[in-house]
Structure 1
Amino acid sequence: MSNPVFVALDTPDLEQAITIAKSVRGHVGGLKLGLEFFCAHGHHGVHEIQKLDLPIFLDLKLHDIPNTVAKAMQAINMLEPAVVTVHASGGRAMMEDAKAAANEHTKVVGVTLLTSLDQNDMGKIGYQGTPHDQVERLADLAREAGLDGIVCSGNEVGAAHKIWKDGFFVVPGLRPKGGAMGDQKRAVTPQQARNNGASLLVIGRPITGAEDPNAAARAIEATL
């Protein structure tokens, strides 16, 4: 894609989401709708955002037994999303069924390790090794399951790209140079992520929380 930036419209306010999307549409490649938005507005909200004629990334992070995830994927197929996320930790069978149930033109990507987690958090929830270890382990599993790619932080995308040359890599939690980290613990700049092999860059608060979202999006686009 010519512009890899997808702005994260993480808000339950439909009008606010539409306003931001209209403001930045000339400087982003697509729009990411997550749980907060989808739980508030469901299919109707997605249809309203689709009127802006930009690719839609449904970041639902599906994670359940294989049959349930497959049926959830079938339920959103009519929305024709460009990208949908599932949790890679749901296992190979779940990922296989998710991909089999998805539309032909929808990329299904597996979330490896949330960018709000670091190695200390990993130990507390029972994960062994480093974030790099976890990302590489789940990248291998996602590839074996037939997914299109994974979601990982900019710190791990370079290593993941080396072991999965034709994978599709989504990198969220990005922060422009000098930007506030917020709840992100493994963030890099959009330019660093792109240089390390990211296919799609998810950027939320640095754009949506800016005084002038259009100027913020334009400034980020200029660094790529």
Structure 2
Amino acid sequence: MDARDRLIVGLDVPTVAQAETLVSTLGDDVLFYKIGYQLAFTGGLELARDMAQSGKKIFLDMKLLDIDNTIASAVENIVKMGMTMLTLHAYPKAMQAAVDAAKGSDLCLLGVTVLTSMDNQDLLDAGYSQDAKSLVLTRAAQAKAAGMGGIVCSAQEASAVRAILGPDMALVTPGIRPAGSDNGDQKRVMTPAQALIAGSSHLVVARPITQAQEPKTAAQAILAEMQTAL
């Protein structure tokens, strides 16, 4: 297995120009990129389409949630963009609408369970009665029942989630931090090797690479660690 197929670098930068510079700097070491809200609203959607056409894999992190018809229409258009992965909140009705709309395409739909920046107290404050792990496992089972391509969760729940999803569904984990790096605003984190051993299929890494003095060197070190675990 090639670790480059499992590492997703988050282009969480302010401008398209900075994103393009980072992609050029990382070169062939990185094949897969995440584009989320920050970049999407400053030309990132056009960049996502262009990068997909150039051969890069794109994880479009839009975390969709709306009425069924709106979800379906959005997914149909995203399929046409050539995206590899798309996130939506793991609500059963939204997931089912997305699965139906993406049928016959190669788009991998991912249900977002509990953000890695949230802990049990955050969920309690938001009105949930379940703790983070319990809610993640509930959402994972619902995603599988809906026919989703996978889920997004913390690597700390990966082992328990993998038992629910089975071997084939994608298990994408943000909140990845190499040993010794700053956790920032992430609360449920793991190292790259630990995450893969726990059952993650893809790792999303942003700041440890994008904010490194030498992004290419940082990416290569993470890839090397991942390769030892594969």
**TM-score (norm: length of structure 2):** 0.92
The 5 A counterparts of 1:93-104 are: 93-102=93-102, 104=105
Higher fraction of helix: 2
Match of 1:156 in 2: 157
* 1:109-139 Cα shifts (integer Å, max 9, x gaps): 1000000100110100111232110100000
Output the amino acid matched with 1:115: T
What are the Cα deviations for residues 70-108 of structure 1, in whole angstroms up to 9, with x where unaligned? 1111222221111000000xx222111112212610100
Cross-structure match for 1:220:
222
Aligned to 1:53: 55
Q: Is the 8 A contact 1:174 1:203 kept in 2?
A: yes
User: Match for residue 110 of structure 1?
Assistant: 111
Paired residues, number:
222
- 1:10 aligns with one of 9, 12, 15: 12
Q: Is the 8 A contact 2:53 2:82 kept in 1?
A: no
* 1:77 to 1:12, Cα distance in 2 relative to 1, 3 A: farther
Secondary structure (helix, strand or coil) at the match of 1:156 reads: helix
State percent identity of aligned pairs. 39
Counterpart amino acid of residue 201 in structure 2: S
Which segment is superposed worse, 1-10 or 45-54?
45-54
Q: CA deviation at 1:51?
A: 5.5
C-alpha displacement of 1:35: 1.3
Displacement of 1:10 in angstroms is 1.2
Partner of 2:172: 170
Q: Is the 8 A contact 1:12 1:41 kept in 2?
A: no
Equivalent AA in structure 2 for residue 7 of structure 1: V
Corresponding residue number in structure 2 for 1:133: 134
Name stretches of at least 5 consecutive residues in structure 2 with no aligned partner: none
Q: Measure the CA separation in 1 of the matches of 2:82 and 2:22.
A: 22
> TM-score, with normalisation over the residues of structure 1?
0.94
